[in-house]
Amino acid sequence: MTHLKLWGRLSSINVQKVVWALDELHLRYERVDAGGAFGIVNTPEYRRMNPNGLVPVLEESDGFSLFESNAIIRYLVARHPGSTLLPADLRMRADAERWMDWQATTATPALRDVFWQLVRTKPEARDASVIAQSTGASAAMAHIIDARLADRPYLAGDSFSMGDIPLGCHVKRWLALPIERPSLPNLEAWFARISERPGARVVMAVPLS
């Protein structure tokens, strides 16, 4: 049996995504803290697995390694089929993957500045205009998610899929920030639903840092 090792600190949203997927698939794995205060990511050994020096990296005991969190999720669900994470219908699968990509390219960049300002920047060094701009941009993204969920319980349809995991981690971060947010009942109901999943409980309990 292949041994799975996940490199990355649990405070990283990208590590959280993979942890959630691994737990959904009931896969045993070893997680090694890396990145941030834990270091490791700039060592030659780590850079051979991920030349970007970022987390996470999934390493298998036969020497195969993979970086980029959404790519890792796709790999895991394809290698371990049978759950709803990988929709059997090709269009539903593409739909799930679309929301994974949208999280990485659109939603998270909108939220990044307000997160960094309020969580990782000392109060005296914060920029109110940057916070306001990012808060507004992230609210616009949340409205898109809310509208998508108006007629379906999950992003790709009737079943929880891999498409819900990255945005679930993103929305968890958005809801935990000390900012004003619009009332979005569809998003809130979806988030409450997915937060009850066993795979979600570990990452939902991690405080922002």
| Mean of the per-residue pLDDT values of the chain | 97
90-200 classified as CATH 1.20.1050.10:
yes
Could you tell me the CATH superfamily of domain 4-79? Glutaredoxin (3.40.30.10)
Single pTM value for the model:
0.96
pLDDT, tens digit, 9 for 90 and up, residues 153-190:
999 999 999 999 999 999 999 999 999 999 999 999 99
- How do the domains of the chain map onto residue ranges? 4-79, 90-200
Q: Which of 85, 138, 76, 152 lies closest to 108, judged by CA?
A: 138
Q: Strand 30-32: give its sheet, edge to edge.
A: 30-32, 4-7, 57-60, 65-67
Residue range 58-62: mean pLDDT, rounded: 97
- C-alpha triplet 39, 103, 199: angle, nearest 5°: 70
